[in-house]
Each structure stands twice: as structure tokens, then as C-alpha cells.
């Protein structure tokens, strides 16, 4: 069974459990990953880019949310934190400043939003077994009808923003301004008629799902249901029901032989999370009721939107590796995208059953023969229609919301000179083209080769169709 609870009832809380030195101390493998990530954002810019998880939206009268949902798992985690007075004061201060904004979605649909709390009772949490069953927070973005119903989806809580800034050690930045970033989805919006492809979305390690909000909203506006997932204990701070904000316990775990963070295990665990979310939104594999969403009845207003025959997984950094890992384990996922992530869990030598895969990365690190050999070996193992694209002038974080927010704050990143608005445009367009080709069977000339309109995008290796 699954514990489901709309996060509209959740209240986030405050003071973080401090680790030695007042913050988490990642192992070597994690430090290498963070070093690559921070290379994309200058020291002063990083906090602005740390706009993270979505605050749980309040219910609107038009919301298709069902009543009678089961209560959230009780607070048991040693990583739970409470709300700080400073975070609340910061929210009021941010109101006097100009709001940061995400780029507008480009598709024909309005965008609706819902936040789900899902619990997998078949698995203990891999990082904190004593906390009980595996918990996830999921932000759904979906095509909605026109009209102004519902409220603007919040970007993140003040507490999540505070923890993100603290985790990165960036004093002097007001987290509340980032928490107040304007989004373009509405909670409680009426879903558009019809069935749409589903895209599962996973963020980078230590980053929350909100860092992919612009991409999720744009895909929803183009006719996709997007489920962006926060994986418990794998971000600097994620709000859960019951007044809990869970911090990055996974950052402290190390392999006893190497001393590194077991990042392959992170990717494989997220693959299991992907499959579980699929079970909830489309019904378990082989289930008789799968076509109508054979999971919790409370989810059916959303599962009715999904065409279970058209599913993709995508992610940034370790989330991109999770996309290939779930394709290796779950035949329901028909296409995958890795945005600038190392394949810590390798692509199987036998391939992915001929299914299509997109590798989209920063040119400085992820070109052929570059700094990440896992892309060369991963490319060789991929056995379906595949594309290997890199973008000049970008860094590791360029495929997230972070450069967009940094640019609005007047911050520059010498290591990734491509403006945030342009990197967001490229990411949205090429990812949407790939998904439209393989989930909607609509030809996409954008994927055929370089174009004068996109001089930053480089195509590598012969394509195999």
C-alpha cells in the first residue's frame, strides 16, 4: 500500500540538525560532484541559484484533489528540522524586493500544479532505515484549461532556502528572495481534456526538485504531465508533511572500501523511486487496472491525464544517470535523457532494449574524450536512436533554473558565459524536441544536426536511428 497525502496540508519547520562544523561534510565522491556543480556558479551567485523545493500549495475549490487521504508518516527521522524564526522574517523582507522570475512556458497550454507525498511501504529508506518506509515528494505539472483558477505555485519554503544557502556556505544572501521566485503554474487548475505523455524528472544530487521547475512547466505547457521528484535525504533540505524538513543524510554515507559517497547506489535507488512513482500514477506493472491508474483512488484525477504507453525519464546530474538506470530495470520507460550527469551506474553493455536516449551536456566536460569517460562508454552501449549534444558556454548547473536566477541578480559566471535565459531556451527546446519525436512520433528537424539558429549546440558521433 501507499501512503498518499496532499502536501497542501504539510507545514514546514525550522532549525536544521547541525552536522559537525555546522553543516554536512560530503565524502570525496560527493565533494567532486559539488566542485563540478559549483564551477558553474560563481561564489556570490551560488546562493541565488539555490532556489529549491516547492512550498506545498494550498487547495483551491477547483482542485481535483480527493478527500479522505491517509495521514503522513509520523516524524521519526533524525534529519528532521523545525522552522526557524529567521526564515519567516526573511519572507516578509523579500516582499519589498523585486521578485525573481522563471522564464514563461512556451507551449499552448496553461500549467496546473499539485504536490504529492508518496510512501513506498515495500522498501525501507536506504539512508535512514530507522525512519521507516521510503518517502518521496512529487511536484506534478500538467496541461490545464484556460482561466485563472487556483493560486501561483510557490517555488520553495523559506526554510528550504535557508538550508540550501547554509549547506553551500554562502553568507550574505537573503534566502527569502529566492523562495519568492515567481512561477507560472497554478495549484488547483482544471486539467485539460485528453491523455498526455508522462515525463519523470529527477534533480542533481544535493539539489531539490524545484531547480528543474522551469523545464517542468515548459514541458507541461507543450502537452506533457511532468512528475518532478524529491528523494528523501538526498537534498540539502526538502519539506515533508508533519513539520519535517529532511536534510542530506546521503551526503554523509561512504563506501567502506573507497571512502566515497556511493553514487551508483544513489542512481539505482532513484531508479527504484521512478518505478514506484510510475506504479502510483499508472498502476503496477501487469496490473489489470493499470490503464486507469490502479493505485490510490485519490490520485485518479491526475492519472486519468496520463497515457501509460508514452513514458520518459529525464534528470540533471545524478538524476540523468537515474534515467538510464530505470530504463535498464523498467521496460515501461520508453525514452531517457541525461543532462550533464556522470553514468556512475553504467549503461548495461547489452544496451537499453533499443530505446532512445539523449545525452545533453556542457561542452567543457562532456564532449567525446573529455573529462567524463563514462559518456564515451555509455554512448557505445546505447543501442537505440541516440543523440549526444553539448552546449558551448555552459557549466554543470546551466541545465537548471540556477543561471536564470543568478543573471537577474546581476551575478556573472566566467566559467559559463552563456546567459541563463539562453541556456534555459536551449535546454527546453532540445529536450522537448527529443520527447516529441519519441513520445509523440512527430519529426523534429532540430535533432538532425547543427543549425544557424543554435550555434552553441554541437552534435557528436554518428547518429543511429
CATH of the domain at 326: 3.40.50.1820
pLDDT value at residue 91: 45
Is residue 152 within 8 Å of residue 183, measured between CB atoms? yes
3-class secondary structure, 8: helix
Task: Note down pLDDT in tens along the chain; length 465 residues.
Answer: 343 333 333 323 333 333 333 333 344 344 444 434 433 333 334 433 333 333 333 333 333 333 333 333 333 334 444 344 444 444 445 555 789 899 999 999 999 999 999 999 999 999 999 999 999 999 999 999 987 678 999 999 999 988 877 776 666 667 898 899 999 999 999 999 999 999 999 999 999 999 999 999 999 999 999 999 999 999 989 999 998 999 999 999 998 888 888 999 999 999 999 999 999 999 887 655 444 455 678 888 899 999 999 999 999 999 999 999 999 999 999 999 999 999 999 999 999 999 999 999 999 999 999 899 999 999 999 999 999 999 999 999 999 998 998 898 776 788 999 999 999 999 999 999 999 999 999 999 999 999 999 999 999 985 554
Helix (H) or strand (E) holding 115: strand 110-124
Residue of 118, 343, 396, 405 lying closest to 241 (CA atoms): 118
pLDDT value at residue 262: 93
Rounded distance between C-alpha atoms, residue 161 and residue 50, angstroms: 7
Rounded distance between C-alpha atoms, residue 316 and residue 263, angstroms: 14
What's the grid cell of residue 453? 539558429
What's the grid cell of residue 57? 500549495
3-class secondary structure, 310: strand
3-class secondary structure, 29: helix
Residue of 123, 303, 335, 307 lying closest to 231 (CA atoms): 123
**Which distant-in-sequence residues (6+ apart) come within 8 Å of 178 by Cβ?**
47, 48, 50, 51, 100, 155, 156, 161, 405
Residue of 217, 229, 456, 457 lying closest to 359 (CA atoms): 457
Rounded distance between C-alpha atoms, residue 405 and residue 18, angstroms: 28
Query: For residue 288, how many C-alpha atoms fall within 13 Å in the half-sphere facing its CB?
Result: 0
pLDDT value at residue 357: 99
pLDDT value at residue 295: 62
Rounded distance between C-alpha atoms, residue 367 and residue 346, angstroms: 18
Is residue 157 within 8 Å of residue 178, measured between CB atoms? no
pLDDT value at residue 405: 83
Query: For residue 225, how many C-alpha atoms fall within 13 Å in the half-sphere facing its CB?
Result: 25
Is residue 457 within 8 Å of residue 449, measured between CB atoms? no
pLDDT value at residue 171: 66
pLDDT value at residue 68: 31
Provide the number of structural domains found in the chain: 1
Q: How far is CA 176 from CA 83, 165, 181, 238, 380, in A?
A: 13, 11, 9, 16, 45
Helix (H) or strand (E) holding 6: strand 2-6
Question: Strand pairing partners for 161?
Answer: none
pLDDT value at residue 184: 97
**Which distant-in-sequence residues (6+ apart) come within 8 Å of 177 by Cβ?**
48, 93, 94, 97, 99, 100
Residue of 192, 324, 309 lying closest to 271 (CA atoms): 324
Residue of 160, 181, 228, 171 lying closest to 46 (CA atoms): 171
CA angle 379, 383, 387 (to 5 degrees): 50
Residue of 280, 299, 298 lying closest to 290 (CA atoms): 280
Rounded distance between C-alpha atoms, residue 233 and residue 206, angstroms: 9
Range of the domain at 125: 2-464
What's the grid cell of residue 46? 551560488
| Residue 19 exposed, middle or buried by CB count within 10 Å (0-12, 13-18, 19+) | middle
Is residue 465 within 8 Å of residue 434, measured between CB atoms? no
pLDDT value at residue 72: 33
Rounded distance between C-alpha atoms, residue 112 and residue 343, angstroms: 33
Question: Would you say how long the chain is, in residues?
Answer: 465
CA angle 358, 364, 365 (to 5 degrees): 60
Amino acid at each position: 500500500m501507499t501512503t498518499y497525502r496532499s502536501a497542501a496540508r504539510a507545514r514546514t519547520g525550522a532549525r536544521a540538525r547541525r552536522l559537525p562544523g555546522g553543516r554536512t561534510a560530503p565524502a570525496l565522491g560527493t565533494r567532486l560532484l559539488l566542485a563540478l556543480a559549483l564551477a558553474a556558479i560563481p561564489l556570490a551567485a551560488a546562493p541565488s541559484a539555490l532556489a529549491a523545493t516547492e512550498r506545498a500549495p494550498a487547495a483551491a475549490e477547483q482542485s481535483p484533489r480527493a478527500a479522505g487521504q491517509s495521514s503522513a508518516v509520523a516524524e521519526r527521522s533524525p534529519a528532521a528540522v523545525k522552522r526557524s524564526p529567521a526564515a519567516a522574517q526573511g519572507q516578509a523582507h523579500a516582499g519589498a524586493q523585486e521578485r525573481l522570475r522563471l522564464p514563461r512556458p512556451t507551449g499552448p497550454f496553461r500549467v496546473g500544479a499539485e504536490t504529492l507525498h508518496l510512501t513506498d511501504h515495500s522498501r525501507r529508506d536506504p539512508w535512514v532505515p530507522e525512519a521507516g518506509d521510503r518517502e518521496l515528494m512529487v511536484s506534478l505539472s500538467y496541461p490545464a484549461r484556460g482561466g485563472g483558477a487556483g493560486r501561483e505555485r510557490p517555488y520553495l519554503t523559506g526554510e528550504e532556502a535557508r538550508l540550501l544557502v547554509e549547506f553551500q556556505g554562502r553568507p550574505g544572501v537573503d534566502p527569502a528572495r529566492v523562495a519568492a521566485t515567481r512561477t507560472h503554474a497554478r495549484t488547483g487548475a482544471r486539467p485539460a481534456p485528453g491523455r498526455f505523455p508522462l515525463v519523470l524528472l529527477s534533480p542533481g544530487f544535493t539539489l531539490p526538485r524545484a531547480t528543474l521547475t522551469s523545464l517542468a512547466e515548459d514541458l507541461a505547457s507543450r502537452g506533457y504531465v511532468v512528475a518532478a521528484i524529491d528523494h528523501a535525504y538526498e537534498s540539502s533540505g526538502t519539506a515533508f508533511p508533519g513539520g519535517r524538513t529532511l536534510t542530506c543524510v546521503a551526503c554523509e554515507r561512504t563506501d567502506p572500501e573507497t571512502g566515497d559517497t556511493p553514487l551508483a547506489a544513489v542512481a539505482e535507488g532513484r531508479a527504484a523511486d521512478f518505478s514506484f512513482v510510475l506504479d502510483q500514477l499508472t498502476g503496477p506493472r501487469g496490473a489489470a487496472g493499470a490503464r486507469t491508474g490502479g493505485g490510490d483512488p485519490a490520485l485518479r484525477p491526475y492519472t486519468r491525464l496520463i497515457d501509460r504507453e508514452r513514458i520518459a525519464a529525464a534528470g540533471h546530474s545524478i538524476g540523468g544517470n537515474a534515467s538510464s538506470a530505470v530504463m535498464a530495470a523498467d521496460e515501461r520507460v520508453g525514452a531517457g535523457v541525461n543532462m550533464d550527469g556522470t553514468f556512475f551506474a553504467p549503461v548495461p553493455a547489452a544496451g537499453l532494449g533499443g530505446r532512445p536516449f539523449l545525452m545533453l551536456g556542457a561542452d567543457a566536460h562532456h564532449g567525446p574524450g573529455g573529462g567524463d569517460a563514462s559518456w564515451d562508454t555509455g554512448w557505445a552501449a546505447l543501442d537505440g536512436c541516440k543523440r549526444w549534444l553539448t552546449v558551448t558556454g555552459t557549466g554543470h548547473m546551466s541545465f537548471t533554473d540556477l543561471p536564470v536566477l543568478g543573471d537577474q541578480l546581476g551575478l556573472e559566471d566566467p566559467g559559463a558565459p552563456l546567459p541563463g535565459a539562453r541556456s534555459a531556451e536551449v535546454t527546453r527546446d532540445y529536450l522537448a524536441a527529443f520527447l516529441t519525436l519519441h513520445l509523440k512520433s512527430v519529426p523534429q528537424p532540430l535533432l538532425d544536426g547543427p543549425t544557424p539558429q543554435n550555434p552553441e549546440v554541437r552534435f557528436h558521433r554518428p547518429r543511429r536511428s
